[in-house]
Structure formats: C-alpha cells, structure tokens
Amino acid sequence: MEAERRVGVAVDFSGCSKKALKWAIDNVARKGDHLILINIQAEGYYEGGEMQLWEATGSPFIPLSEFSDSNVMKKYGVKPDAETLDIVNTAAAQKEFLVLMKIYWGDAREKLCEAVDDIPLSCLVIGNRGLGKIKRAIMGSVSNHVVNNAHCPVTVVKDHHE
C-alpha cells in the first residue's frame, strides 16, 4: 500500500461506525492518502434528487467541503452527524489526506463488496455492532460477509458496549 492509497471506511453515523472511523484515522490513514467514507442507504423508490440519478452506480465522489453542507447532502438523502464531520475535518487538516464520500443504495453487504472493486480500495475498515449469535444468524452479519467476500484487506473494529 504505497502512495495514492484509498482507505475505505464504512459509515452509517452510528457509534460503531464512528469508532471504526477513528481507528482508521489513528492506525491506517496517512499523509497523501484518500480516505473514502462509504455510506449505504436502504434501497427504495426515490422520486427525485441525486438518489434517482445515481442509484445504480453509486454517487460520484463527494468532497469533504460538500458533504459538510447539509443542503448538498439533502439531495442524496443522507444526514451526516456533527461528530462525524468534526472527526473527519480535524483529521484531514492534521494528517493532510483527502476525504471523500461515496454513497450507494441497496444491501450493505453487497454494496460494500462492490465499492471495494469499483473505487478500487486498498483496504476497508468496518465497524461491528456486536450482535449476539441468534441475531447474527437471523439477520446476517454485514462485517462477516464483507470479510469473506471483499477483494482487499478488511479490518473489523468491534464495538464493546457491554
């Protein structure tokens, strides 16, 4: 993983995705890298906005300055929280890397694996909510699917909220 690395982080603005984002910034991303936040929205019918235009291929790369703008993000149906924006704005300034966001619509398991190849990513960091064995068996684990099917190194950051 030399210069021009593309470090992907799956973000849904939950506590475990913020933990994964912080871990990626502290342990993986370095000066000159592209930190790409990947957000997956539920599949559905969209009457207008950018969602309808980009539903099949995912959004174009959205620079940090634009995804910090609530009016721009409203077009995509995404509402980044203030804490996540603060984390990435601070890190981008301190560590000198480029932060971009790409949004996909559909099943998170499939779309994260698709993003690895489409972008392409050098590595992916994903959070894990720590579902119990029964919930994981019924609902399926996004992180487990991505670890077993993505074509790049995947790091799972566990959320220990016991």
Query: What CATH number should be reported for the domain holding residue 57?
Result: 3.40.50.620
Q: Give the pLDDT of residue 38.
A: 97
Assigned domain for 22 exists: yes
Assigned domain for 42 exists: yes
How far is the C-alpha of 3 from the C-alpha of 41, rounded, in Å?
30
Task: Report the sign of the C-alpha dihedral through residues 57, 58, 63, 69, in that order.
Answer: positive
Structural domain of residue 71, as residue ranges? Answer: 6-158
Assigned domain for 118 exists: yes
Lowest mean pLDDT among 5-19, 44-58, 89-103, 144-158: 44-58
Residue with tokens 């119990």: 132
Q: Give the pLDDT of residue 150.
A: 93
Assigned domain for 104 exists: yes
pLDDT digits (tens, 9 = 90+) for 66-120: 999 988 888 888 888 999 999 999 999 999 999 999 999 989 999 999 999 999 9
Assigned domain for 45 exists: yes
| Token digits of residue 116 | 């690895």
How far is the C-alpha of 11 from the C-alpha of 37, rounded, in Å?
6
As for how many domains the chain has, the answer is 1
Assigned domain for 18 exists: yes
Give every CB contact of residue 5 below 8 A, 6+ residues apart in sequence: 30, 32, 33, 34, 122, 123
pLDDT digits (tens, 9 = 90+) for 110-138: 999 999 999 999 999 999 876 555 554 54
Assigned domain for 1 exists: no
| pTM (two decimals) | 0.87
Assigned domain for 76 exists: yes
